[in-house]
Amino acid sequence: MQVSHRIPLIKHKLLIGLLIASIVAIGGCSLVDSSGSSQIYKEGYILDKNALDSISIGSSQEQVILALGTPSLKTKYDNEVFYYISQTRYRGMQFMKTKIIDRKVLAIYFNKNDQVTKIANYGLQDGQVFDFIAQTTPTATKEQPLLIQIIKGPANLPAHD
């Protein structure tokens, strides 16, 4: 008779152990989710430095696409330009909305023969559009309103004359 009582007791202890382990696991998950830890999200084109280094002045459009992939946006002002756009968003707490904290635009400029003439990596520095490769603020061009709109957002477009 003792053996028959022992088996249910072992099952009972096993069930209690599993229940406690489940509660701890679930409790741990809720602590992780409600801890309010911040999160950073990177979206869009993630720049591979080695891929960018393989592109130089004189490279063809095909070489650019092979190295960097399909651009986020293509435009044609005087000549074609490929734009690779990325952004970083931040969420301070789980319940908060995300906020865009950084946008970058890698621009590859081509001549009429579809060869690279310029490479620029635009972003914001001190509130101004800045080329981090040339270390300069771009001069006024036809594309500047587009760059401002992409990097700062549509509310920051300059007024038209």
| Residue 41: per-residue pLDDT | 86
Q: Which domain holds residue 59?
A: 39-156
Q: Do residue 1 and residue 60 come from a single domain?
A: no
Indicate whether 5 belongs to any domain.
yes
Q: Are residues 89 and 77 in the same domain?
A: yes
Specify whether the CB–CB gap between 104 and 123 falls below 8 A. Answer: yes
The answer to whether residues 24 and 43 belong to one domain is: no
CA angle 103, 77, 105 (to 5 degrees): 10
Residue 10: predicted pLDDT: 63
pLDDT per residue, tens digit, the chain (161 aa), is: 455 555 565 665 666 666 565 555 544 443 334 455 788 888 888 888 899 999 999 999 999 999 999 999 998 877 899 999 998 888 888 788 888 888 889 999 999 999 999 999 988 877 778 888 877 777 766 677 778 788 877 554 444 44
- Would you say how long the chain is, in residues? 161
Same domain assignment for residues 141 and 82:
yes
